[in-house]
Amino acid sequence: MEKVKKIIKGLTPYGIVRLYQMRKSGRTDLEKILKNLQGKMCVVEGEGINSIIDVGASDGRWSLEVMEIFPVARYFLIEANHYHKDNLDKFVNKHKNTEYIMAAAGDRVGNVYFDDSDPFGGIAMDEKINADLIQIQETTIDYCVKDKKLKGPFLIKLDVHGFEVPIIKGALETLKETEIIVMEAYNFQIAKDSLLFHEMCEYMKEKGFRVAGIIDVSYRPKDYALWQMDLIFVKSTREEFLDNTYRCLKTNQIIK
């Protein structure tokens, strides 16, 4: 332990970040957490996640990743940036249990302004704050679920850069059948009315969800301040939250 302390003490801030990044990758952690949650849901054959709604899907890479965990689920991808349309066409042609819509998810069906300058960024907003914003279709998760006849239980993934609250407001009916939410969250307010990660935890608590995992923690390069992470929310009524002990009560062992 003393050796570890000396090593950490001698590291620059950049070195500390790199030390963290050398640990298990967030992708591995995501796989472990989702497999554990899925396994506990599937007590009876046929139970588990039926539909996965991937909001901010880009070219479908996240859905492809979790397809190894949920191979028979139906995937519905929502993406606002037309930069990804050709790749999404290829994705759904290759994977027959998938489909997508080019739109921004929000709290209403209509139109919204969108910054499409960054292919893997992009921020939706209700006001046209500069001339470079384009107007695109807006939809809600609830509308898509009804229109596409998607069946729960659901897993929802949000990678929407500060537009989380309007999307959640447009998914209140779907949340009733949602078991898992994977959401990118920030330590800085990156968009108007966006919530910081601890505020998002409180907001989701009001909706009946608690954090079951934190993965892909990142720090901004210019000052190594905590920048963002992915939060994995599950129903606050899950059995895991009934046990506040660290060790297994029966064997007094730490479960690895």
Is residue 225 within 8 Å of residue 187, measured between CB atoms?
Answer: yes
Return the number of other C-beta atoms located less than 10 Å from residue 178's C-beta. Answer: 24
Q: Is the pLDDT of residue 72 over 70?
A: yes
Q: Which two tokens stand for residue 112?
A: 């919204």
pLDDT tens track for 214-241: 999 999 999 999 999 999 999 999 988 9
- The answer, as to whether pTM is greater than 0.85, is no
Cβ within 8 Å of residue 217, ≥6 positions away? 20, 26, 226, 228, 229
Q: How confident is the model at residue 254 (pLDDT cuts 50, 70, 90)?
A: low
pLDDT tens track for 28-70: 788 888 988 887 765 444 568 999 999 999 999 999 999 999 9
Instruction: Give CATH superfamily name and number for 50-242.
Output: Vaccinia Virus protein VP39 (3.40.50.150)
What's the distance, Cα to Cα, between the start and end of the chain in Å?
21
Is residue 158 within 8 Å of residue 167, measured between CB atoms?
Answer: yes
Q: How confident is the model at residue 166, as a pLDDT?
A: 94
Q: Is the pLDDT of residue 182 over 90?
A: yes
Residue 145 parent element (H or E):
helix 141-148
Q: Which of 165, 157, 236, 158 is nearest to 196 (CA)?
A: 165
b/e per residue, 218-241, with b = 16+ CB within 10 A?
ebeeeeeeebbbbbbbbbeeeeee
Tell me which of 91 and 23 has the higher pLDDT: 91
Give the whole-angstrom CA distance, residue 103 versus residue 81.
8
DSSP classification of residue 241: G
Degrees to nearest 5, angle at CA 132 with 59 and 167 = 50
**Domains of the chain, residue spans:** 50-242
Return the number of other C-beta atoms located less than 10 Å from residue 50's C-beta. Answer: 18
Cβ within 8 Å of residue 3, ≥6 positions away? none
